[in-house]
C-alpha cells in the first residue's frame, strides 16, 4: 500500500467514525425529546409517579380527582390537567398552593373551568365576591379555584347568580359561608353537588378592533 493509499484509508476511517458518532448523537437527541425530558420531567409517567413527591395536601386532592375522573390528559412536574371531564371544560390540580382566607383559611390548588360569558357590568361584582373566581372575557371562560370540587361548584353557582342579577355580592358571600359549613358537616346541597346552570357552547368575546 502506498503512502497516498494509506492516508486515504485513514481519512475514510475517520469519516465513518464521524457518521457513527453523529448517528448515535441523533438517537440521543431523539430520546431527549421524548415525554419526560424536554417536555417536562413528569410527562410520560403515571400520575402516581408524578405526584409522589408533591406536598401531602396537593397529593391527596390529585388522588381524589384521579379516582373520580381517571388519568389526567396532561401531566407536568407542577400540575395535572384533565380536559372535558364531567361538567368541566378543564380541571387542573396544582402542586403549589395559593393561600386563600375566604370563607376560612385554606389552600387553593384545584382549578375548574367552564365556558361562560358574563355581562361586562358584573365583572367588578364578581371580583368583589371571590378573588378565586376568575372570569376571562376574551376566552369566554369562568373558573373557580379552591381545594374541593364541591366548593368550586358552589363558587360558580353563586357567581352565576350574581352575573344574572339574582343575588348581591354580600348575599352570595353569606350564602357561600353557610354552604361550606354544611358541606364540612357532610350535608351536600344542589349548590355543592353540581352546576346549577348550563354553560354555553362557547362564551368567547374577541371584542372589536379600534384601529
pLDDT of 174 reads 98
| Residue extents of the structural domains in the chain | 1-32, 47-193
Tell me the mean pLDDT in the region 11-36.
37
Q: What are phi and psi of 79, to 5 degrees?
A: -160, 155
What percentage of residues in the chain have a pLDDT greater than 70?
79
Task: Give the Cα separation of 111 and 103 in Å (integer).
Answer: 17
For all residues of the chain together, what is the average pLDDT? 85
- Give the Cα separation of 166 and 2 in Å (integer): 98
What is the percent of the chain where pLDDT is above 90? 76
Q: Which residues contact 91 (CB under 8 A, 6 or more apart)?
A: 65, 69, 81, 82, 85, 110, 111, 112, 113
Q: How far apart (Å, rounded) are the C-alpha atoms in residues 10 and 2?
A: 13
Give the pLDDT band of residue 109 (cuts 50, 70, 90): very high
pLDDT at 11: 38
Predicted pLDDT at 35: 35
pLDDT in tens, 127-152: 999 999 999 999 999 999 999 999 99
Read off the pTM: 0.79
Amino acid at each position: 500500500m502506498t503512502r497516498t493509499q494509506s492516508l486515504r484509508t485513514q481519512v475514510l476511517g475517520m469519516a465513518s467514525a464521524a457518521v457513527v458518532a453523529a448517528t448515535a448523537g441523533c438517537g440521543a437527541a431523539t430520546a431527549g425529546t421524548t415525554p419526560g425530558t424536554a417536555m417536562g420531567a413528569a410527562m410520560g409517567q403515571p400520575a402516581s409517579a408524578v405526584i409522589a413527591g408533591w406536598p401531602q395536601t396537593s397529593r391527596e386532592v390529585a388522588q381524589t380527582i384521579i379516582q373520580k375522573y381517571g388519568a389526567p390528559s396532561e401531566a407536568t412536574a407542577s400540575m395535572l390537567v384533565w380536559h372535558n371531564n364531567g361538567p368541566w371544560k378543564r380541571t387542573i390540580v396544582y402542586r403549589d398552593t395559593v393561600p386563600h382566607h375566604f370563607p376560612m383559611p385554606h389552600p387553593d390548588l384545584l382549578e375548574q373551568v367552564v365556558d361562560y360569558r358574563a355581562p361586562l357590568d358584573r365583572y367588578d361584582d364578581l371580583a368583589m365576591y371571590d378573588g378565586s373566581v376568575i372570569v376571562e372575557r376574551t376566552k369566554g371562560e369562568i373558573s373557580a379555584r379552591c381545594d374541593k370540587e364541591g366548593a368550586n361548584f358552589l363558587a360558580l353557582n353563586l357567581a352565576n347568580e350574581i352575573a344574572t342579577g339574582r343575588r348581591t355580592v354580600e348575599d352570595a358571600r353569606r350564602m357561600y359561608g353557610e354552604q361550606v359549613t354544611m358541606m364540612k358537616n357532610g350535608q351536600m346541597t344542589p349548590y355543592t353537588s353540581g352546576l346549577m346552570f348550563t354553560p354555553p357552547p362557547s362564551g368567547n368575546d374577541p371584542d372589536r378592533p379600534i384601529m
